[in-house]
Chain A
Amino acid sequence: MKHSFIDEYSDLDSLIHRLDPRVKLVTLVASLLFIISTRPTSFVTFVLYGILIFILIGLSKIPIGFIFKRSLVIIPFVLIIAIFIPFFKKGQVAGSYSFGSVHLTVTYEGLMVFWNVLVKAYLSILCMILLATSTKFSNLLKAFENMKCPKLMTMILSFMHRYIYVLVDEMMRMKRAKDSRTVGGKRWFHVKALSHMVGVLFIRAYERGERVYLAMCSRGFSGQIRTLQDFKLNKTDFCFLLTMAMLLIAIRTIRR
């Protein structure tokens, strides 16, 4: 798998990259809460939040095209859930369409709900992409841990993140080996062959888990994983936090 894209830009040096991951996490959650609690009719507010996000992306030096591309990949999944909304809300009819025997009616209320979820989902996704591309996952996990997330959970997450790359590569190798030996064949046969591949992958993964455990024991693991970590909040972090808080509140109060 080409997996370098995942943290392609996490090594850049920018104001956003240098921020303490805890500050970024707090800012993210605050931004999401402000965005999703905005009234659907406050169009100006959404535009201002959008501008704020783009300023942050600019500060992070991450190419805007890259962030757009990432966000476009997710849009279809959002639309799958959202697409039927405008047709099923009772209210004033905005338009009515017929496809063969199916009659669909779009209402203004339905469209409003549709716009509401879509704009909020998209702005939130931009925020999440900015966090993901500007922060190494390992630092994010240390931030979780620092903020009282159970160590057990963050360690499992850390191991998962480490072995995603290994297992996905392993599976792709198996798939290539299978593809290079299969010519034609029924769909049923393919489904069966692929299922067996997943079975093999599971067995290998399980055995790997056991081996990793032994490797840990060999280096003195006794049930507790301890890591050295030192995050220090500096002046920039405080300034950023304060500025963001003021901006979020200011944008919110501009139009009631």
Chain B
Amino acid sequence: MHIPDGFLTVNAWVPAWLISIGGIGYCLRKATLTLKDRMIPLMGVMSAFVFAAQMLNFPIAGGTSGHLLGGVLAVVLLGPYARAIVITVVLIVQCFIFQDGGLTTLGANILNMSIVGAMGGYLIYNPIRSVLGGQKGIIVGIAIAAWASVVLASCACAVELAISGTSPLRVVLPVMVVSHMLIGIGEAIITSFIIGFILKVRPDLIYKI
């Protein structure tokens, strides 16, 4: 999902960068309003948390294993704006220290995983949570939003690859979406387990809207 350099052409990665810069700038301003001075240490440590959580391997069917992406998990814990920043920071570190994802394509990766993933996940989570209400609402909302945010991010990725002529949309879209519909199931299960646990131990840490 981390698009490497060379996969996108100028007409895809430049607009993606511009949208990302605008989006993250907006999120930075919004998050500063609520977090104030705490912003820097809290966001820094939370980004490190997401990074560490992504390193943990979960056993999946038949000897294979996968890891958490943590998109919706972060939304529920930090709110959509702070969450977008956290995932962006994780992507920047992955790009510069671990070469996971390219630099010219970093804007696209931020757009897919940070902005589309966060906002999409949040817009799905929030209505479900308020309609169902209570703990059940939170858990069901999270499971669906976690699944959807993974799928949405893969759609965005497919569109960018298609714009670049790397692969036609009618081919790349189904391939990406179907594979991520499966990945999303794991993400949904793990995320709802984690939130279920935090709801039991420290319900005060769940983000209030």
Are the C-beta atoms of B48 and A36 separated by less than 8 Å?
Answer: no
Query: Which residues on B are within 8 Å of A, measured CB to CB?
Result: 1-7, 10, 24-25, 28, 32, 36-49, 51-53, 55-56, 58-59, 68, 73, 77, 85, 89-90, 92-93, 95-100, 102-104, 161, 165-168, 171-172, 175, 189-190, 193-198, 201-202, 205
- Closest chain B residue to A195, Cβ basis: B193
Stretch at the interface among A58-66, A92-100, A147-155, A235-243: A147-155
Are the C-beta atoms of B52 and A156 separated by less than 8 Å?
Answer: no
Question: How distant is A103 from chain B, measured CB to nearest CB, in Å?
Answer: 15
- Closest chain B residue to A137, Cβ basis: B97
Q: Give chain A residues whose Cβ lies under 8 Å from the Cβ of B104.
A: 32-33, 36, 124
- Beyond A81-B7, A171-B52, is A132–B197 a contact (Cβ under 8 Å)? no
Q: Give chain A residues whose Cβ lies under 8 Å from the Cβ of B205.
A: 202-203, 206
Complex Cα gap A173–B50 (Å)? 17
Are the C-beta atoms of A163 and B167 separated by less than 8 Å?
Answer: no
Complex Cα gap A205–B104 (Å)? 31
Are the C-beta atoms of A124 and B43 separated by less than 8 Å?
Answer: no
Are the C-beta atoms of B202 and A203 separated by less than 8 Å?
Answer: yes
Q: Give chain A residues whose Cβ lies under 8 Å from the Cβ of B172.
A: 84, 88
Are the C-beta atoms of B37 and A213 separated by less than 8 Å?
Answer: yes
Show 28 residue pairs from A and B whose CB-CB distance is below 8 angstroms, ordered by the A residue: A32-B5, A33-B104, A77-B2, A82-B7, A88-B167, A88-B171, A88-B172, A121-B102, A125-B102, A131-B96, A137-B96, A152-B32, A160-B90, A162-B44, A163-B48, A164-B51, A166-B48, A170-B52, A191-B189, A191-B190, A198-B190, A199-B195, A200-B197, A205-B52, A206-B49, A209-B46, A213-B42, A223-B36
Q: Give chain A residues whose Cβ lies under 8 Å from the Cβ of B42.
A: 206, 209-210, 213
- The verdict on A194 contacting chain B, using a C-beta distance below 8 Å, is yes
Which residues of A in the span 70-116 have a Cβ within 8 Å of any Cβ on B? 70-71, 74, 77-78, 81-82, 84-85, 88-89, 113, 116
Complex Cα gap A119–B7 (Å)? 10
Q: Give chain B residues whose Cβ lies under 8 Å from the Cβ of A85.
A: 166-167
- The verdict on A250 contacting chain B, using a C-beta distance below 8 Å, is no
Q: Mark A172-212, 1 if CB is under 8 A from B, else 0.
A: 00010000000000010011101111111111011011101
- Beyond A155-B40, A156-B44, A196-B197, is A29–B3 a contact (Cβ under 8 Å)? no
Complex Cα gap A120–B104 (Å)? 12
Are the C-beta atoms of A84 and B175 separated by less than 8 Å?
Answer: yes
User: Which residue in B2, B43, B167, B189 is a CB contact (below 8 Å) of A156?
Assistant: B43
Are the C-beta atoms of A113 and B40 separated by less than 8 Å?
Answer: no
- The verdict on A221 contacting chain B, using a C-beta distance below 8 Å, is yes
Are the C-beta atoms of A209 and B59 separated by less than 8 Å?
Answer: no
Q: Give chain B residues whose Cβ lies under 8 Å from the Cβ of A137.
A: 96-97
Question: How distant is A188 from chain B, measured CB to nearest CB, in Å?
Answer: 9
Q: Give chain B residues whose Cβ lies under 8 Å from the Cβ of A163.
A: 44-45, 48
Complex Cα gap A119–B5 (Å)? 10
Complex Cα gap A174–B199 (Å)? 20
Complex Cα gap A123–B42 (Å)? 36
Q: Give chain B residues whose Cβ lies under 8 Å from the Cβ of A155.
A: 40, 44
Are the C-beta atoms of A202 and B5 separated by less than 8 Å?
Answer: no
Complex Cα gap A175–B47 (Å)? 20
Complex Cα gap A35–B104 (Å)? 11
Complex Cα gap A217–B24 (Å)? 27
Are the C-beta atoms of A6 and B45 separated by less than 8 Å?
Answer: no
Q: Give chain A residues whose Cβ lies under 8 Å from the Cβ of B1.
A: 81
Complex Cα gap A197–B89 (Å)? 23
**Which of B1, B36, B53 has its CB near the most chain A CB atoms (within 10 A)?**
B53
User: Top 5 closest A-B pairs, CB basis?
Assistant: A159-B44, A120-B6, A195-B193, A124-B5, A199-B197
